[in-house]
Structure 1
Amino acid sequence: MQTSNIVVGLDIGTTKVCVVVAEKDEVGKLNILGHGRSVSEGLQRATVVNINKTVNAIRAAVADAERESSIRIKGVNVGISGAHVHCINSNSEISVNQSGVVNSSDIKRFLEKAKTNIRYLDIDHEIIHVIPQEFIVDDQEGVLDPIGMAGTTMRGSAYIVVGMKTKIRNIKQCVEKAGLSVNDMTFEPVASGLAVMKESERKSGVVIIDIGGGTTEVAIYIDGAIRFSEVIKVAANDVTHDVAFGVKALYEVAEDLKIKHGCAYIRDRSQDEEILIQGIEGRPQKSFLKSSLTLIIEARMMEIFELIRDSIKRSGYYEYLNAGAIITGGGSLIPGTDALSTEVLGLDVRTGYPEGISGGIKHSINNPMYATVMGLVAHSFEDRTEQHDFDAVGPRTERDAAAVGDGADEQTKNQSGKKIVDRLKDWWERL
């Protein structure tokens, strides 16, 4: 096995940490070699609040992925999200090189100019991505990939993703303390879209909705390019807290109730029945109607989709979503979510599963909760194709003491970036 053809995605979420090791087959499909997942307790709303707990969760997930793939993981493409991340539209215009034919150097100069044109980037923030939206070569409008076109000037707009330096640095520190290097960072709403979107949907106009544990992420694609994104601070954990409050149960019991008996749409509940609920700290069991549980879940899920609807309408692109919406992430798995979202959003909705997977342990990650990490893997492959190989994996050996560190506490045992890349990637330039 040639390890130079292997990449690793790392999704550090509010409720879970996911790792996927993958390679590409001869037709460009993803072959999954290994995956790992662990409980995440060190983040709130996609922001690190406890370094040690986050490091332990990363180590546990990485260890599982290494065992399953028989590969030592060295570098990862890690996702970044949270309310601190925001996006800026920036215009740019340059003269085409002396040959009169647009090349990759022109694209880079165009995007560098877009970076220097933004007015709202202060010293507390840094740029994560610069993503072109469209190009105009001389008088030819609506160009998505101008390379090879003849012209004298090139103008257009770019979508610049920025985040708070301290919060990005905390993610980087967690990855490095876990003995890994950060090969790249990707805005998670973009990664989720890359994993679940079909090309026809990207061109027709679609909104990607990723309902995670701590945040809900929205990304809108029109005419093949991202046009709008937002991170909403209400998500699946809030549903669980509502259930815990409503039935007077522990959080873990409420989460189990949500998974086993939950429904997000009362009209999908054809018949009612009683559920026995475990009492807290030796207290007796009690019963609860499924219909009451559904009403609790539906109320919070309806709020989430109302916030999403408001976000889409603020963007100004609501009327252009010909392909409707794709809902993904662990929060999309609650039965009835698709029906409720269709009613609230007023759009055609489908549930998004990772696309473009050919083999390996495909069944293990064929789940919306793996959409983000699979998008991170796909992005890494595009980076390798367009730029150069990252140092992602190496021969399977025992991780040295410096990599593991002396701080691996009991939580890690029981549970089973290197400078942030600040260079433009051709793949993102052509997205």
Structure 2
Amino acid sequence: MAAKEFIVAIELGSSKMTGIAGQKNLDGSINVLAVVKEPSSSFIRKGVVYNIDKTAQCLTSIVRKLENQLKTGITQVYVGVGGQSIRGVKNVVSKDLPTETIISQDMVIELMDANRNMTYQDQEILDAAVQEYKVGSQFQLDPVGIQANRLEGHFLNILERKSFYRNLNKCFETANINVAEMYLAPLALADSVLTETEKRSGCALVDIGADTTTVSVYSKNILRHLAVIPLGSNNITKDIATLQMEDSDAERMKLKYGSAYTDNNDIDNDLKYSIDSERQIESRKFIEIVEGRMEEIIENVWYQIPSEYYDKLLGGIILTGGGSNMKNIEKAFINHTHVDKIRIAKSITHTINTTNEEIKAKNGMLNTVLGLLVKGDINCAGSAINPNGDLFSSQKQPVHPTADQRPARQATDTPAGVIRTEAEKQKAEEEKRRQQEEEERIKREEELKKKEEEERIRKENSTWNKLKKGILKFGKSIVEEE
């Protein structure tokens, strides 16, 4: 039976693209209805789209396969945005105020707009996380209602290269797929695997993917730092492959024998691992290769964490992603970071009901796309599909407004983590331009009226006018005397 309501989310990963459809229950749990995966390493590198046509073809294939499983058309999808080019940059915007000014919400919005209007060379602001506001010499999370003569806003701007952002939008446009919402994948992941206590007390979320590792630092429930390292579990596979073997054999050996940490006393110098039926490799050499690359990844992760938070990670380090499944990875992180509290997030915090074996395995590899599914709140289901694969209706009709149909949404109206699509940005810019033109027209009319009034007054006060008035006054006085 065709499902009438469901959410669809798509994650564009470096090794695979994943599409998932699910229904939300009243108790907050999610029923997963369909999961589709396609290899993506030939057109997505380090989480960034490099081939628009191939990416569009893959997106189309995933949507079609989901539709066939669901026996229902898909009108729109939720999309996660991540990849190597994403990074967080701090920015401060200040405003001097008249003495004894009480800060209003409009003043705060003005600071947010000023921050959003910042320009970075070849970079696009995807999102802006408010850190705090400095009112006088004090820091406040909410400055509204406080009296001050200076207001300072501290922001963490999440940037991505403009070309990559446009490529991503172009892929969905080429595939003719409506985007219900674009969401920052690291934020969707953090909201789905971190607890409120971890975010509040301070923690670092480390998502070890195939080609990249994403580091998100939280403190006092606020995102404090975001960085993407161009290293992942595939780098370990490639290092193993240098021992003159195929990547597939290297991946198999990594999964079977790989360990992020091995005590030197536990290494058997006589032990050898089999590459195939004819070749073997010394276990010590294999261990040194795996540990060497793993150590590099961990050191880069620790380097990305701002030094002021080194002693404030009371919630510890939370590991997730496919790379977090490596044996003894907690011990390796403890050795190199000296943070004793390490947790591996095998699944998201929401209850998931599914028959899919990969989700039931709880290996952290689908946490991001499940987090995107949790974020969805607009029905993505269209018309039912008949057995021949044709829709009963001649054309898909979205049951909810898509990005092109929504009212133009300004940056300050956008929820945290949500990224405006290219279409939304263009529509917002057109709306802003229209408002500016209307304001300029009203201003011109007011100036014209003012000039006409000034001209009238000037004429009334002119010398000839005064002379004319004098003559009339003199004539009137003579008539009155007669």
Measured against aligned partners, the alpha-carbon deviations of 1:240-297 in whole angstroms (never above 9, x if no partner) come to 1001112x1111221122123322222399576543324xxxxx73123444333221
Q: How does 1:220-369 map to 2 (within 5 A)?
A: 220-246=217-243, 248-267=244-263, 273-278=271-276, 285-312=278-305, 314-347=306-339, 348-361=341-354, 364-365=358-359, 366-369=362-365
The alpha-carbon deviation at position 301 of structure 1 amounts to 0.7
Q: What is the count of residue pairs matched by the alignment? A: 390
Q: 1:289-327 CA deviation, whole Å, 9 max, x = no partner?
A: 444333221110111001111111x45322211111111
> How many Å separate the matches in 2 of 1:215 and 1:356?
23
Report the Cα distance in structure 2 between the residues aligned to 1:425 and 1:71, rounded to whole angstroms: 32
What amino acid is the match of 1:157? H
Give yes or no for contact 1:37–1:60 (8 Å, CA) kept in 2: no
Report what 2:30 is aligned to: 30
- Residue identity in the other structure for 1:35: V
* Rounded Cα–Cα distance in structure 2 between residues aligned with 1:424 and 1:32: 33
- 1: CA distance, partners of 2:147 / 2:337: 44
1:180 to 177, 194, 214: 177
Find the aligned partners of 1:131 and 1:44 in 2 and give their Cα distance: 27
Counterparts in 2 of 1:93 and 1:68: CA distance versus 1, 3 Å: farther
Could you list the runs of 5+ residues in structure 1 that have no partner in the other structure? 279-283, 382-388, 404-416
The corresponding residue for 2:374 is 378
Letter aligned with residue 394 of structure 1 = G
Q: In the aligned structure 1, how far is the partner of 2:417 from the partner of 2:188?
A: 15
Q: Secondary structure at the match of 2:311?
A: helix
Distance 1:133-1:29 versus aligned 2 partners, 3 A rule: farther
Partner of 2:462: none
For the 8 Å contact 1:37–1:64, the answer to whether it is kept is: no
Q: Distance in 1 between matches of 2:145 and 2:257?
A: 60
**Residue type at the aligned position of 1:223:** K
Q: Which letter maps to 1:121? A: Y
Q: State which drifts further: 32-41 or 84-93.
A: 84-93
One of 130, 133, 137 as aligned partner of 1:132: 130
Q: Provide the residue aligned with 2:440 in structure 1.
A: none
Q: SS state of the match for residue 309, structure 1?
A: helix
Are 1:205 and 1:221, in contact at CA under 8 Å, matched by a contact in 2? yes
1:394 aligns with 2:382: yes
Structure-to-structure mapping, 1:194-209, within 5 angstroms:
194-209=191-206
Over 3 Å counting, the alpha-carbon distance change for 1:316 and 1:101 in structure 2 is closer
Q: Distance in 2 between matches of 1:374 and 1:421?
A: 26
Q: Does 1:160 align with 2:157?
A: yes
Give, in whole Å, the separation in 1 of the partners of 2:350 and 2:40.
Answer: 26
Q: 1:15 aligns to what?
A: 15
Q: SS at the partner of 1:369?
A: coil
Map of 1:412 onto structure 2: none
Q: What whole-Å deviation, never above 9, does each CA across 1:368-394 have from its counterpart, x for those lacking one?
A: 11122122223334xxxxxxx4x6332
After superposition, what is the alpha-carbon deviation per residue over 1:125-154, rounded to whole angstroms, capped at 9, x for unaligned? 2221122223568998443xx49x755677
CA distance, structure 1, for counterparts of residue 315 and residue 410 of structure 2: 34
- 1:207-218, aligned counterparts within 5 Å? 207-218=204-215
Is the CA contact (8 Å cut-off) linking 1:202 and 1:223 kept in structure 2? Answer: yes
Cα shift at 1:15: 0.6
Taking structure 1 as reference, are residues 204 and 170 closer, same or farther at Cα in structure 2, changes over 3 Å only?
same
Task: Specify the alignment match of 2:44 in structure 1.
Answer: 43
Taking the TM superposition and a 5 Å limit, the aligned residue runs for 1:98-109 are 108-109=109-110
Say whether the 8 Å CA contact 2:127–2:417 is kept in structure 1: no
Alpha-carbon distance between aligned partners in 2 of 1:294 and 1:304, rounded to the nearest angstrom: 15
Flag the 1:168–1:393 CA change in 2: closer, same or farther, 3 A.
Answer: farther
- Which one has the largest radius of gyration? 2
SS of 2:318's equivalent in the other structure is: strand
Q: What percentage of aligned pairs have identical amino acids?
A: 24
Structure 2's unaligned 5+ residue stretches are: 396-401, 419-482
CA distance in 2, matches of 1:427, 1:8: 19
Partner AA of 1:310 in structure 2: Y
After TM superposition, the score normalised by the length of structure 2 is: 0.70
- Over the aligned positions, Cα root-mean-square deviation in angstroms equals 3.6
Cα offset, 1:19, TM superposition? 1.7
1:222, distance to aligned residue in structure 2 (A) = 0.8
1:337: how far off?
1.6
